[in-house]
Structure 1
Amino acid sequence: MATDGNIPNWVEAKLLDLLERGGFLSGDRGPVTSSLKLLNSDGLCSSMFRAVVESGRVRYNLMVKTLLNWRFDYYADMFINESRMYQEVLPGLLGGHPEVHPFIPKCYGAMAEPGEGVILMEDLSLQGFTHAPRTMDLEHICFSLKALGRFHALSYAAKKTDMPKFLQEIVHRIHGALKDEYTQFFMGMIIRESSLHAIQLFSTRFPEEADKHSDAIKSLKQMIDDSLPKMLSSALAQSPLAVVCHGDFTRNNLMFRYGEDGKISDVKFVDFQMSRYSSPVVDISSVICINTSPELRAAHLPDMLSAYHGGVVQSLSESLDCPPESLEGEFGLEAFQQEYRRGVLHGFCVASFFTQAALEGPGCIPVLGSSDTRTAEDVLQFLRDKRLVYSEEVNRRLAVLVKEVLDSNYLEPLISYLQPPE
């Protein structure tokens, strides 16, 4: 075996064990050889390796994800959640055959034992898949959202077929992330600080608009400052549109392949570590608010939502063997537009923090529990230091994002929804 010296020995053992368990190394295929190469050791949540395993005439090109540090529940929960998604939840949605869905990469095995977690995936880069530009154009965003609609339709079809079974065998098996109080406190503080900064940018850059929306800004700031979990609850699961969400549906977790004409032919979703049962707007608003420009949203937001709706209806009509028009009541475009209005502030809160990372790379994201982010004061100082080097484009996008929320018809009904009558 040829192995990068930075890779622990147990990684090879777990990799080969998972392939053996899955039947990929069984039979008279001859001796097994393998090689691993470290791709990154300082990922936010895991380390990635590229592996080649050969057994006779069979060759597997793999991406190997590991969690080398289990000291913090935040990272452990995400790794366990992704392992369960590949082992139990996605196969359940797909009737035990995850390879039949065109948007989910093949998983050769996963285990989440403390200290030695491993997930084995097909290496999509060798099949011509790559990431989109950091700011997605209309073709990329609509292709992605249509595929997302088809993915979410798996949940709708399962619920329509057998709701108790869906809840018991799929939803209840999702481990979830961001569960411990430590993580909830720090993530709440990070998003609160970032959201309030975005509002300040808006007030500075658009003073006349800020005066016009002064009451709405006051209400929004109070909600963010005092009741962030309550505000984010606007995107919690509600029937009938709740689905198994990807949970981190952004450009970084989408890989595209292109035809000879340069047009997109395929897309794959990766990194299911934040998956949960929730409103579809968790996925829809994240990719729209983080990965598209204000100009594209202003011109084509209806087209984006229509692309998503088209994916849902197309896939659901195929699964349920019914005409698309019969689905327009419960799953009509207007229903998803209303859902987007109800939960779009989820996208705003997430984008207020992740926009810089989306445009400039992940170096602006604090790694909880690292040497420079051990306390609340450390995290706040980290955020403020990074804010000093925000590019002009990052600041512009954050300010305009606040303007979009205030200029839309979203805020007033949302405040009424979140604030109970006195």
Structure 2
Amino acid sequence: MPEHANDFNADELQAPEWMDNDFFLKVLQNCEKKGSRVEIVSTKISPASMKGDHYASVMFRALLEYKLDGVHKTKSVILKTMPESDGHKKEMLGNTDIFEKEISMYTRVLPRFEKILRNAGDNTVLKAPCLYSALEPKKVIVFEDLVPAGYEVVRGRVLSVEEVKAAYFKLAKWHAISYKINLEEPQFFDEFQRGIFNMSNIANEPFMASGIINFVELLKKTPSLQSYLPYFEKLQPKLLERCRASYAEYRDAPKEGACYVLCHGDFHAKNMMFKHHKGTDDVEDVMLLDFQIGYVGPNVNDLIYSIYCLLDENMRLDFPALLYHYYTVFKSTLASIGFKGTSPSLMQIRQHYRRHKDLELFLLVTFLPMWYAINDEPDVENMMTSDEYRRAMYDSKEYIKYVEQVLPEYLHLGYLEE
């Protein structure tokens, strides 16, 4: 068991028995030169992430010592697999296709995206190197560890504006390429039909429906917020269904002129690793991670998601400038990869953003309290399983202060009108 065990998820303290030398030999034989002789010398396995970094998988880091044709080598790899211990996480994820999706992203989709960029003279990297993947006998993906290359997950602070712009830069390129492919070859994304609101195992979780309920209770007991109660009481039975419709819009009811792309689906700070210049601390690169719940939908959904899952209070005020940054990269990427159609205008994107306002309200009342709680105490298991714990999140003074600030803005924007 590693030191400071409480800093890690309980199901990542002990590696499963199948992660043995035979397994790692298979991994190395897959990623080294074909026909080379590989001999495992030693393996050292530890948790790959900190508590609160993720929930929808189990992750380990393995330091491998081996001989390649007699030459001593070392390699650090990250292993991502499904939970094996009985409990909520296993039940929620057991019948989903999240691993099938992610393997397809790393082996089929993102390699094509990068090839399109290379053909346009663009060397932007969209993925960490995938060394091995399998669905049988265990669902597992093995990546090259980015930490030795200087990448890190940002913890203990909010992202800087420079880091956020780097993340939007990558997202905009990703969106632009998928926009073009989806118009020309929509069947290429056939397996990416369901986002988080359309995956029954996740969409039916109590935490998805309880947010608006707990928010209404907060409004009732907070004098400064009671004037907003009638709107959210009317919205309560409709909010989750409207979000489901937003995520399913491309498949069920596509809108003329909408911008449909392959959405990341979980575009937040813990799903990114940043590399900084050692001398100046400037951002050199950001690597987007975790493609398990990608789906084809409105590009604005990733952008709206980022409001409460990527930005802090101050950067939310500057979102129009960040959206413009995203848009310029999106538009220039379409031009560079040879898109001949009419790209959506910035005004159209802003109009589509407003049309999906219910997603933003859902994130305010459901996900934002969770982010405040994760920053204070990263107990994701309780957050997902305990009604009492979730209700307590709404007592956060920081959260209430923000709600008092943002609800007047939503009122003035017309968000609180049917």
Q: 1:102 matched to which residue of 2?
A: 125
| Aligned residue runs from structure 1 range 14-413, under 5 A | 14-20=23-29, 22-24=30-32, 26-39=34-47, 44-53=55-64, 54-56=66-68, 57=71, 59-69=74-84, 71-77=90-96, 78-95=98-115, 101-113=124-136, 116-132=138-154, 134-160=157-183, 162-163=184-185, 167-172=186-191, 181-186=200-205, 189-198=206-215, 201=218, 207=224, 211=227, 214=228, 218-235=230-247, 236-237=249-250, 238=254, 240-259=258-277, 260-298=279-317, 300-320=318-338, 330-358=343-371, 359-364=375-380, 366=382, 373=385, 379-388=386-395, 390=396, 392-412=397-417
Q: Contact 1:37/1:50 (CA < 8 Å) preserved in 2?
A: yes
Q: In the TM superposition, what is the alpha-carbon distance from 1:240 to its structure 2 partner?
A: 4.1
Instruction: Identify if the C-alpha distance between structure 1 residues 305 and 168 changes in structure 2 by more than 3 Å, giving closer, same or farther.
Output: same
2:6 equivalent in structure 1:
none
Contact kept in structure 2, 1:137 and 1:292, CA below 8 Å: no
Judge conservation of contact 2:267–2:310 (CA < 8 Å) in 1: no
SS at match of 2:191: helix
Report which stretch shifted further, 349-358 or 333-342.
Answer: 349-358
SS class of match (2:143): strand
One-letter amino acid matched to 2:133: A
Q: Distance in 1 between matches of 2:14 and 2:268?
A: 30
SS at match of 1:348: helix
SS in 1 for 2:204: helix
Structure 1 stretch 402-411 or stretch 139-148: which is displaced more?
402-411
| 1:230 positional shift | 2.4
Structure 1 length as normaliser, TM-score? 0.77
Q: Deviations over 1:294-314 (max 9, x none)?
A: 33322x121011111012112
2:275 and 2:284 in contact (8 A); partners too? yes
Distance 1:202 1:220, change over 3 A: closer
For 2:212 and 2:343, the matched residues in 1 are separated by 33
Distance (whole Å) between structure 2 residues aligned to residue 204 and residue 406 of structure 1: 20
Aligned amino acid, residue 315 of structure 2: L
Shift in Å, 1:253: 0.5
Change (3 A) 1:330 1:250: same
Paired with 1:265 and 1:14, the residues of 2 have a C-alpha distance of 34
Q: What is the TM-score of this pair, normalised by structure 2? A: 0.78
SS at match of 1:289: helix
Which sits farther off after the overlay, 279-288 or 241-250?
279-288
**Cα RMSD (Å):** 3.4
Deviation at 1:342, TM superposition (A): 1.7
Aligned residues: 380
Offset at 1:248?
0.5
Query: What secondary structure does 1:310 align onto?
Result: helix
Given that 2:181 and 2:188 are in contact with CA atoms closer than 8 Å, whether structure 1 keeps it comes out as no
Percent identical: 21
One-letter amino acid of the counterpart of residue 18, structure 2: W
> Any stretches of 5+ residues in structure 1 without a counterpart?
374-378, 416-422
* Residues 1:348 and 1:364: Cα distance change in structure 2 (over 3 Å): farther
Partners of 1:45 and 1:275 in 2: CA distance: 13
Q: How big is the shift at 1:386?
A: 4.5
- SS where residue 314 of structure 1 aligns? helix
Give the letter aligned to residue 152 of structure 1: H
Q: Structure 1 residues 227 and 291 mapped into 2: Cα distance closer, same or farther (>3 Å)? A: closer
Cα offset for 1:357? 4.0
Q: CA deviation at 1:345?
A: 2.9
